[in-house]
Amino acid sequence: MKLDEAQLQQFDDDGFIFVPDLFTAEEVAVLKGEIPGIFAQRRPEVIREKTGDVVRTAFATHTYNDVYRRFISHPRILEPAQQLLGGEVYIHQFKLNGKAAFDGDVWQWHQDYGVWQRDDDMPEPRAMNLAVFLDPVTEFNGPLYIVPKSHKAGVLEAGHDVETTSYPLWTLDQQTVANLVEKGGIAAPKGPPGSGFFFHGTLVHGSPPNMSPWNRLIVYVTYNRTDNAIRRFQRPEYIAHRDFTPLSVLPNDCLLT
């Protein structure tokens, strides 16, 4: 799948593109069908919330689950990533963010590239995220908040928050976020399962707790240019991958065959 000129311009202007119906209901059912088995596993990659035995994030699922191994090379996500980044890509990070009903905790305001630069020594912001909704995402169940155009601010000063949640994060202070929101506002992409959006590595974003009775499961894939590979290996490999092999595009029906 190739993005058109309007989509490419929107990504450059706003830092993200929302694509409704990126995956079909049948494909989403295949992806969701793997979740109970993945979330039941007691392994380092599966991180649980501080408040209970619910999954916050399952990292690197593509390394031990065949459905998600095929998913990362699906043409509807890999080809746009190659197009947006202008070259061959590998997986820097993969995660299933659970945001469980009632128990899904906050993700503080941050920039992903700020984390990748500080923790992994990624040379330049030539990496990006792809998100696909596996549940309906509404205003009630903790949608992602993004600040349009904030990617143009570059890498912002951040503090290392190791206390708020079960996952440490380089986070932005309130005044910085307020200043950016004054210029770009806040958007919250919402939609049915199968919706997807691509967003820039320096786009400021976060998400509120899920206080609703509805789960909000999103799969996130971070693609990085192969010539922009990380140079520091202090984080576990399942969080910051060391395999810089370029991905090859699979057939359009790769999730169904």
CA proximity to 44, closest of 250, 196, 235, 212: 235
| pTM exceeds 0.75 | yes
- Read off the pLDDT of residues 135-180 as tens digits, 9 standing for 90 and up: 999 999 999 999 999 999 999 988 876 666 556 678 899 999 999 9
| pLDDT in the model for residue 225 | 98
Q: What number of CA atoms fall less than 13 Å from residue 195's CA on the CB side?
A: 17
| pLDDT in the model for residue 169 | 77
Contacts of 256 (CB under 8 A, 6+ apart): 26, 27, 30
Length of the chain as a residue count: 257
CA 86/CA 83 separation, integer angstroms:
5
pLDDT digits (tens), the chain, 257 positions: 899 999 999 999 999 999 999 999 999 999 999 999 999 999 999 999 887 788 989 999 999 999 999 999 999 999 999 999 999 999 999 999 988 899 888 888 999 999 999 999 999 999 999 999 999 999 999 999 999 999 999 999 888 766 665 566 788 999 999 999 999 999 999 999 999 999 999 999 999 999 999 999 999 999 999 999 999 999 999 999 999 999 999 999 999 98
CA 155/CA 172 separation, integer angstroms:
11
For residue 28, give both structure tokens. Answer: 């989403």
Domain boundaries, the chain: 5-225
CA 248/CA 107 separation, integer angstroms:
32
Burial class (CB within 10 angstroms; exposed 0-12, middle 13-18, buried 19+) of 52? exposed
CA 38/CA 50 separation, integer angstroms:
19
| pLDDT in the model for residue 52 | 74
- What CATH number does the domain located at 5-225 have? 2.60.120.620
